[in-house]
């Protein structure tokens, strides 16, 4: 159980992030949500507020270094500590143009949130956990786009693939401090980010047929795995890439 621990989940006000927050709270953790949409932040806090549990939210754009540093400091002031950090905030790729027409600005706009934002979040988390000296967990949320081909979405896939390398490097570097570093790789999941994709009946049917469990995931499919990754009892589990995709990538 993770009673008495504090988890930070970026992008935790909707989608997979909110599913992880629900799982963490159900397992006994106090949780801090970072999100850019203050209305969604407030709704998430209102949903999860319960006796004996602390759920708070801060507005933070993870692509802005000053905001990340300041918001992490505010989080520590509010909660006193952080035991696990889930670098989950991100934006989705828009499959509207072929790779040959992709602009450098489009490429960079994906990297600044999905890779640089994760870097900044994980860096601040690592600094705190190293200084605190009591171990902890860092989790980078990637995507199955890092495993299979993602046409017209190479910028998104590149950022998510790079995040896997970051997590492996952190696992080696931070093991001496008792900090567990793992990656979570979601498959096709029903979230606001994938809402447009789910309107294409052929695409939805094809991806569902290729998924052995014969459905897309839901945000709540990620609650239990989040609680597992945040569990301080899992002292020997680091450097892993956990795929939660209903079997999509192995079929």
242 or 196, higher pLDDT: 242
pLDDT tens track for 30-47:
999 999 999 999 999 999
Banded pLDDT at 96 (limits 50, 70, 90)? low
Contact in structure between 187 and 248 (CB atoms under 8 Å):
yes
Q: What is the 3-state secondary structure (H, E, C) of the chain?
A: CCCCCEEEEECCCCHHHHHHHHHHHHCCCEEEEEECCHHHHHHHHHHHCECCECEEEEECCCCCHHHHHHHHHHHHHHHCCCCEEEECCCCCCCCCCCHHHCCHHHHHHHHHHHCHHHHHHHHHHHHHHHHHCCCEEEEEECCHHHCCCCCCCHHHHHHHHHHHHHHHHHHHHHHHHCEEEEEEEECCECCHHHCCHHHCHHHHHHHHHHCCCCCCECHHHHHHHHHHHHCCCCCCCCCCEEEECCCHHHC
Q: 37 exposed, middle or buried (CB, 10 Å; 0-12, 13-18, 19+)?
A: middle
pLDDT tens track for 186-231:
999 988 877 777 777 888 888 899 999 999 999 999 999 999 999 9
Banded pLDDT at 50 (limits 50, 70, 90)? confident
Position 87 pLDDT exceeds 80: yes
Calculate mean pLDDT across residues 68-74.
98
Residue 75 has a pLDDT of: 98
Minimum mean pLDDT range among 48-52, 66-70, 71-75, 168-172: 48-52
Distance separating alpha carbons of residues 143 and 161, to the nearest angstrom: 8
pTM of the model: 0.95
pLDDT tens track for 128-138:
999 999 999 99
Residue 203 has a pLDDT of: 85
Residue 51 has a pLDDT of: 83
pLDDT tens track for 136-180:
999 999 999 999 998 999 999 999 999 999 999 999 999 999 999
**Active-site annotation holds for 177:** no
Whole-number percent of the chain with pLDDT over 70: 98
- Annotated catalytic residue, options 156, 188, 222, 248: 156
Residue 62 has a pLDDT of: 98
Calculate mean pLDDT across residues 95-124.
93
Position 94 pLDDT exceeds 70: no
- Quickly count: other Cβ atoms within 10 Å of residue 179's Cβ: 23
**Helix 116-132 and helix 104-114, axial crossing angle in degrees, nearest 10:** 20
- Quickly count: other Cβ atoms within 10 Å of residue 173's Cβ: 13
Residue-wise burial string across 94-116, b where 16 or more C-beta atoms lie within 10 A, e elsewhere? eeeeeeeebeeeebeebbbbbbb
Whole-number percent of the chain with pLDDT over 90: 86
């Amino acid at each position: 159980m993770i009673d008495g621990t504090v988890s930070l989940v970026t992008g935790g006000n909707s989608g997979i992030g909110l599913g992880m927050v629900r799982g963490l709270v159900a397992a006994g953790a106090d949780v801090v949500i970072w999100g850019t949409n203050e209305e969604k932040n407030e709704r998430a806090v209102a949903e999860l507020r319960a006796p004996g549990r602390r759920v708070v939210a801060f507005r933070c754009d993870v692509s802005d270094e000053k905001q990340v540093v300041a918001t992490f400091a505010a989080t520590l002031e509010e909660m006193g500590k952080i035991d696990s950090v889930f670098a989950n905030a991100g934006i989705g790729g828009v499959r509207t143009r072929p790779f040959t027409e992709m602009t450098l600005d489009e490429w960079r706009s994906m990297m600044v949130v999905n890779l640089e934002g994760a870097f900044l979040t994980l860096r601040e988390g690592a600094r705190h956990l190293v200084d605190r000296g009591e171990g902890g967990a860092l989790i980078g949320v990637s995507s199955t786009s890092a495993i299979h081909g993602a046409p017209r979405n190479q910028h998104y896939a590149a950022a998510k693939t790079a995040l896997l390398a970051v997590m492996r490097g952190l696992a080696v570097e931070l093991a001496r401090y008792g900090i567990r570093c793992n990656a979570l790789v979601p498959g096709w999941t029903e979230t606001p980010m994938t809402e447009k994709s789910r309107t294409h009946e052929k695409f939805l049917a094809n991806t569902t047929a290729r998924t052995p469990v014969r459905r897309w995931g839901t945000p709540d499919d990620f609650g239990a795995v989040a609680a597992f990754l945040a569990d301080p009892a899992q002292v020997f589990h680091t450097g892993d890439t956990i795929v939660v995709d209903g079997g999509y990538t192995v079929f």
